[in-house]
């Protein structure tokens, strides 16, 4: 088969246009928010930024996992994953307003903390949580992720040209192992900087993993939606089979359980320890209005997708599975909202800016993603196991 | 119904390759037989489908779900009952219904209930353990665990007729057709 046959179907072009329209509309409202209510707006912006960061980084993580394990499940989504990682440049641009304009609205808790006396941070924290350190580390995280992204994309493109070069396959694997460690390490520190430091007196060692697991959910959900979108047109209508959906559905199910497991582990340890400095996180999130949001996260993010995805028929259903995937991306917004917002307000309701920022960043992200999808054939033609992965043997 | 054969279990056809067996299974189902079963020395892909053993009739997933839910609910509410009613104790000022602490046991009992129901449900649905089976009376059947492929049409199939069914088995290339009798 030639590369021409696997180019992005027309639906990707439609996605590109619609996403841009939504993104620009969101951006217009966002700019109004930025000017009129910068304090409220940046709280919303943080949620939206963490969401689109998850789409790109989750794809980077899944891509490296795929190179490491070499499973057939990922060959079909390898190119969409690579396209999503290339949007990381845009996510980096989305990061810049936070250190440039948003820090005083978001991180006042440690920027303006007293140096001594009541409420003072420890000397270590005072030396770590500084404006310069925050900006410098932010650039380091993105440097790590962008380097991994460029490396993996370059080798994958090379594989399309030198189809017989088996050493490339080994080299991809060789970089993917340390790459996953670097990604998780950088994400742990990034989660501390960007989200955990909203409440600088509270700390949790599993916090970074909450984000890593959430990013895997976001990315896998997006991949399921894309696979179904491709499957509406030839040649993908004949390539994508129920067994592919079954594999992706099982992984989505697993990641959702992993996220629930990490989230609950944190609660169980803090609940059992019952230390005054630790329980603050849940005191502001499990009672009152935020308690209701917590219950929603538990039921809507975990229980409903869990029981739906338990069924084999649902995982193989091309009408239902993408709906669950879209639902889970929406639930990622809810979870990020619940993780960050209670540090600012006890009012557990979203603002107009929440919707505007998510639509702006999400729309522009999707637009750039669609642009990236068009650049390469949608199947990795140099992948040795490609023929096996798309062979039609449905049972 | 045809003449009753009280001690007759069914007719056993012997094949020498999995392809012939699959082909025969499909043709026999097309002929309207439903009470058929196959015996092979190794798993043959697609055989269950050829025999018409759909997932629709598979009760194991449902049993596992019931077992898992039953185990989980028992585990959770047993702890609620112990801690709130049977032996309430104030542990470091936490509420008596200290639900996060109950989750690990709830999870374990969900797994236990689900797996017990899955294993024993599967055994019960297969009517196992079964020390004796009429097929053991057929000397040639021993090769089902070695190099031969067998297809049995059971006598209580509504379409079963000793001579016609035997002819059908021969027409689908069975090398041997044996009457299986349940006798001592």
ipTM, 2 dp? 0.83
Calculate how close chain A gets to B13, using CA atoms only, in Å: 26
Residues of B in contact with A267 (CB under 8 A): 100
pLDDT, tens digit (0-9, with 9 covering 90-100), for B87-140: 999 988 889 999 999 999 999 999 999 999 999 999 999 888 988 889 998 999
- Give A332's contacts (C-beta < 8 A, 6+ positions apart): A51, A54, A214, A217, A218, A221, A301
**Shared domain check, B69 and B46:** no
Calculate how close chain B gets to A57, using CA atoms only, in Å: 31
Which residue numbers of A have CB closer than 8 Å to B's CBs?
Answer: 264, 267-268, 271-272, 274, 310, 312, 395
Residue A70 Rama label (left phi>0; alpha psi -120 to 50; beta): left
Q: Is residue B112 part of a domain?
A: yes
Q: Is residue A120 part of a domain?
A: no
**Shared domain check, B67 and B49:** no
Q: For residue A199, what is the DSSP state?
A: S
Averaged confidence pLDDT in chain A:
93
Whether B103 and A264 lie within 8 Å, measured CB to CB: yes
Whether B94 and A312 lie within 8 Å, measured CB to CB: no
Q: What is the number of domains present in chain A?
A: 1
Percent of chain A at pLDDT exceeding 90: 82
Domain extent for B157: 8-57+134-181
pLDDT, tens digit (0-9, with 9 covering 90-100), for A16-29: 999 999 999 999 99
**Shared domain check, B50 and B140:** yes
Could you give the C-alpha distances from B8 to A54, B1, B2, B3, B141, in angstroms and in order? 66, 14, 13, 11, 16
Q: Is residue A119 part of a domain?
A: no
Neighbour count for residue A17 (Cβ, 10 Å): 11
**Shared domain check, B70 and B31:** no
Whether B104 and A310 lie within 8 Å, measured CB to CB: no
Q: Is residue A124 part of a domain?
A: no
Burial A252-267 (b: 16+ CB within 10 A, else e): bbebbebbbebbbebb
What angle do helix axes A38-69 and A321-340 make, rounded to 10 degrees? 130
Residue among A176, A187, A182 nearest A213 (CA): A187
Q: In the predicted model, is pLDDT for residue B63 greater than 60?
A: yes
**Mapping DSSP to helix (H, G, I), strand (E, B) and coil, where does residue B60 land?**
helix
How far apart are alpha carbons A176 and A182 in whole angstroms? 10
The structure tokens listed for A49 are: 């930024």
Q: Is residue B30 part of a domain?
A: yes
Q: Bigger pLDDT: A37 or A169?
A: A37
Instruction: Give Cα B147 distance to the centre of its chain.
Output: 23
Of the residues B125, B144, B161, which one is the last residue of a structural domain?
A: B125
Contact with chain A for residue B46, Cβ under 8 A:
yes
Residues of A in contact with B103 (CB under 8 A): 264, 268
How far apart are alpha carbons A135 and A112 in whole angstroms? 17
pLDDT, tens digit (0-9, with 9 covering 90-100), for B64-102: 999 999 999 999 999 999 999 999 999 888 899 999 999
């Amino acid at each position: 088969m030639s590369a021409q046959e696997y180019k992005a179907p027309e639906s990707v072009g439609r996605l590109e246009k619609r996403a841009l329209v939504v993104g620009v509309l969101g951006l217009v409202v966002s700019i109004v928010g930025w000017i009129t209510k910068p304090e409220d707006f940046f709280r919303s912006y943080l949620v939206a930024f963490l969401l689109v960061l998850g789409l790109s980084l989750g794809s980077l993580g899944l891509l490296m996992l795929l190179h490491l394990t070499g499973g057939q499940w990922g060959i079909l989504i390898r190119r969409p994953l690579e396209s999503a990682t290339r949007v990381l440049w845009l996510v980096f641009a989305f990061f810049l307003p936070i250190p440039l304009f948003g820090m005083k609205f978001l991180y006042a808790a440690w920027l303006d903390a007293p140096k001594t006396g009541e409420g003072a941070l420890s000397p270590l924290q005072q030396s770590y949580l500084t404006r310069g350190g925050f900006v410098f580390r932010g650039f380091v995280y993105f440097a790590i992720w962008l380097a991994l992204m460029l490396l993996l994309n370059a080798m994958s493109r090379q594989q399309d040209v030198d189809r017989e070069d088996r050493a490339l396959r080994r080299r991809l694997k060789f970089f993917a192992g340390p790459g996953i460690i670097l990604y998780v390490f950088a994400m742990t520190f990034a989660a501390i900087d960007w989200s955990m430091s909203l409440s600088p007196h509270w700390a949790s060692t599993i916090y970074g993993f909450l984000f890593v697991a959430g990013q895997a959910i976001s990315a896998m959900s997006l991949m399921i939606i894309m696979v179904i979108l491709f499957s509406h047109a030839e040649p993908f209508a004949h390539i994508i089979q129920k067994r592919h959906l079954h594999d992706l559905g099982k992984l989505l199910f697993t990641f959702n359980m992993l996220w629930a497991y990490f989230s609950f582990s944190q609660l169980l340890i803090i609940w059992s320890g019952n230390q005054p400095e630790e329980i603050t996180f849940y005191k502001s999130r499990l009672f009152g209005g935020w308690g209701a949001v917590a219950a929603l996260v538990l039921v809507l993010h975990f229980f409903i997708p869990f029981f739906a995805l338990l069924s084999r028929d649902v995982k193989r259903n091309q009408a239902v599975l993408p709906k669950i995937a879209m639902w889970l991306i929406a639930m990622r917004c809810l979870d990020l909202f619940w993780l960050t917002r209670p540090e600012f307000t006890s009012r557990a309701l979203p603002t107009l800016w929440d919707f505007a920022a998510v639509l702006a960043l999400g729309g522009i992200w999707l637009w750039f993603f669609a642009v990236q999808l068009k650049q390469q054939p949608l199947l990795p033609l140099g992948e040795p196991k490609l023929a096996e992965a798309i062979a039609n043997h449905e049972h | 119904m045809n003449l009753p054969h009280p001690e007759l279990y069914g007719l056993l056809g012997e094949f020498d390759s999995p392809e012939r067996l699959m082909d025969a299974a499909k043709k026999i189902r097309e002929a309207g037989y439903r009470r058929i079963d196959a015996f092979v020395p190794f798993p043959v892909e697609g055989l269950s489908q050829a025999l018409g053993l759909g997932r629709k009739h598979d009760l194991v997933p449902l049993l596992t779900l019931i077992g898992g839910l039953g185990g989980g609910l028992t585990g959770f509410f047993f702890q609620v009952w112990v801690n709130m009613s049977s032996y309430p104790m104030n542990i470091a000022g936490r509420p008596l219904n200290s639900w996060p602490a109950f989750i690990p046991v709830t999870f374990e009992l969900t797994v236990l209930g689900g797996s017990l129901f899955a294993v024993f449900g599967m055994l019960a649905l297969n009517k196992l353990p079964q020390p004796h089976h009429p097929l053991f009376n057929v000397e040639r059947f021993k090769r089902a665990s070695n190099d031969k492929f067998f297809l049995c049409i059971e006598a209580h199939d509504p379409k079963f007729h000793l001579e016609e069914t035997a002819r059908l088995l021969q027409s689908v290339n069975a090398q041997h057709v044996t009457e299986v009798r349940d006798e001592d």
